[in-house]
A = this chain, B = another copy of it.
């Protein structure tokens, strides 16, 4: 059957501007803010949400803008936090000073987005910059760089400005978007799995609680029955079972082994924002931040590891006062909403088909070669005896490819080569106009990573 459409093999349609592997960010990057997907609708006009992405990363930023400034608290608990403007939030002031919160990908570099958000507020929302209208924009980032992707595209001032300009009330984009554009979860268990940004909203009496979280966790996402929700990128894979069993087995394997040196396939960080509309003192808001952040250890296991930079902001718009809801009750409510938010972060996965060997395998020869994602980051494709293998043989693993481990490839119905043992990992080869293979895309679809063929 496969033999009937061999031409399809190299048919490449790129739905985004192709960005050469390892290329430096240029000024031509265009923030994308008209994004489709699944949205959370929320009735919370005091918070405006904007999302902007660079497909060339892919990476992005998510901005929460408060036309009326809010009071804020922060709880930093991870072992590798990257934050901006948090120190002032620890001084106990009761004054609403925060204009926006900025979340971004890009690791340390993504903090630049917060600067863009602040500058855009200054230029479009406020008058003369005087003490009382300075835009205070705390922020945090997630790690989404090598070995996940290898270019230097990270959120910057322009992306932050774009996200702020796009900010509107009422809708939050779920899944692998914005700051969560290239997030993963579950790498503690050996299988980093795409995640994204989640959100949830609940109103109880007059109290409104919204939680937004970018789940880029070393731990796995767990539901209220103790089950791991997703442990791989194959949508048709079997259920993952109980987290308690998985936690135990990691330790058991570790002890059974002789101190394996692990391929760390990812760094992590979960960043979260809780927005409430109830009047709270600073001390109450800080307590709520601590209570909710801690509660998320139910939904993400393990949480706050040394390889996470977990940070949570809690802000209040101070709009209402519902005496039925104590600060502790608000904390409990927000904790449940936070769990829902984490659950909602799982993105729609690219479809997977299992693949077979083609009847006519001759085109394999054209693909064989060495492909570079970045300096020293290579995938070698080997053609032997009508079969084909790929191996990350540089100095870095690749998303889905452990270092120095050969994987057999087979052909799927889309004409991509897929890893036989993990069919969610695919390779699409790119031909130039003269028909020569010049590169490949690892995992074409929503999380593409490109490489150039080496001579």
Tell me the A residues contacting B by CB distance below 8 Å: 22, 24-25, 76-77, 79-88, 91-94, 107-109, 111-116, 118-119, 122-123, 127-131, 134-137, 143, 145-147, 150, 152, 154, 156-157, 188, 204-205, 218, 224-226, 242, 244, 247-248, 250-252, 254-255, 257-259, 264, 267, 281-284, 286-287, 290-291, 293-298, 301-307, 309, 311, 323-329, 331-333, 335-336, 374-377, 396
Instruction: Determine whether the beta carbon of B376 is less than 8 Å from that of A332.
Output: no
Instruction: Determine whether the beta carbon of B307 is less than 8 Å from that of A291.
Output: no
Query: Which of B146, B242, B251, B377 contacts A204, CB < 8 Å?
Result: B251
Give complex CA distance A296, B302 in Å: 11
Shortest distance from the beta carbon of A163 to any chain B beta carbon, whole Å: 15
A128 with B91, Cβ < 8 A, contacts A287-B306, A291-B304 known: no
Query: Which of B85, B282, B328, B333 contacts A305, CB < 8 Å?
Result: B328
Instruction: Determine whether the beta carbon of A267 is less than 8 Å from that of B123.
Output: no
Instruction: Determine whether the beta carbon of A111 is less than 8 Å from that of B85.
Output: yes
Instruction: Determine whether the beta carbon of B112 is less than 8 Å from that of A128.
Output: no
Instruction: Determine whether the beta carbon of B250 is less than 8 Å from that of A374.
Output: no
Shortest distance from the beta carbon of A342 to any chain B beta carbon, whole Å: 13
What chain B residues lie within 8 Å of A259 (beta carbons)?
Answer: 323-324
**What are 30 A-B residue pairs whose CB atoms fall within 8 Å in the complex?**
A25-B123, A82-B85, A82-B136, A84-B111, A85-B111, A86-B86, A86-B87, A93-B283, A94-B283, A112-B112, A112-B118, A113-B115, A122-B152, A122-B154, A131-B264, A131-B267, A156-B157, A188-B332, A205-B254, A205-B255, A226-B226, A244-B336, A247-B335, A251-B329, A254-B326, A258-B324, A287-B305, A294-B297, A295-B303, A305-B332
What chain B residues lie within 8 Å of A129 (beta carbons)?
Answer: 107, 109, 145-146, 150, 152, 154
Instruction: Determine whether the beta carbon of A91 is less than 8 Å from that of B135.
Output: no
Give complex CA distance A108, B94 in Å: 19
A301 with B302, Cβ < 8 A, contacts A92-B286, A147-B130 known: no
Give complex CA distance A284, B123 in Å: 32
Give complex CA distance A128, B122 in Å: 34
Instruction: Determine whether the beta carbon of B374 is less than 8 Å from that of A127.
Output: yes
What chain B residues lie within 8 Å of A254 (beta carbons)?
Answer: 204-205, 324-326, 329
Shortest distance from the beta carbon of A225 to any chain B beta carbon, whole Å: 6
Look across to chain B and name the residue whose beta carbon is closest to the beta carbon of A108. B134
Residue from A112, A154, A323 whose CB has the most chain B CB atoms within 10 Å = A112
A91 with B286, Cβ < 8 A, contacts A226-B225, A250-B332, A335-B302 known: yes
Instruction: Determine whether the beta carbon of A83 is less than 8 Å from that of B80.
Output: no
What chain B residues lie within 8 Å of A80 (beta carbons)?
Answer: 88
For the complex of A and B, list the 9 residue pairs with the smallest distance between their C-beta atoms, beginning with the closest. Answer: A112-B115, A130-B146, A128-B374, A92-B283, A92-B92, A84-B84, A259-B323, A81-B87, A297-B297
Shortest distance from the beta carbon of A59 to any chain B beta carbon, whole Å: 11
What chain B residues lie within 8 Å of A294 (beta carbons)?
Answer: 77, 293-294, 297, 303-304
Give complex CA distance A396, B127 in Å: 13
Give complex CA distance A94, B94 in Å: 11
Shortest distance from the beta carbon of A10 to any chain B beta carbon, whole Å: 27
Instruction: Determine whether the beta carbon of B118 is less than 8 Å from that of A130.
Output: no
Instruction: Determine whether the beta carbon of B131 is less than 8 Å from that of A108.
Output: no
What chain B residues lie within 8 Å of A242 (beta carbons)?
Answer: 224
What chain B residues lie within 8 Å of A286 (beta carbons)?
Answer: 91-92
Give complex CA distance A24, B161 in Å: 14
Give complex CA distance A94, B332 in Å: 23
Look across to chain B and name the residue whose beta carbon is closest to the beta carbon of A333. B251
Instruction: Determine whether the beta carbon of B204 is less than 8 Å from that of A290.
Output: no
Give complex CA distance A325, B251 in Å: 8
What chain B residues lie within 8 Å of A291 (beta carbons)?
Answer: 302-306
Instruction: Determine whether the beta carbon of B332 is less than 8 Å from that of A302.
Output: yes
Residue from A137, A218, A257, A305 whose CB has the most chain B CB atoms within 10 Å = A305
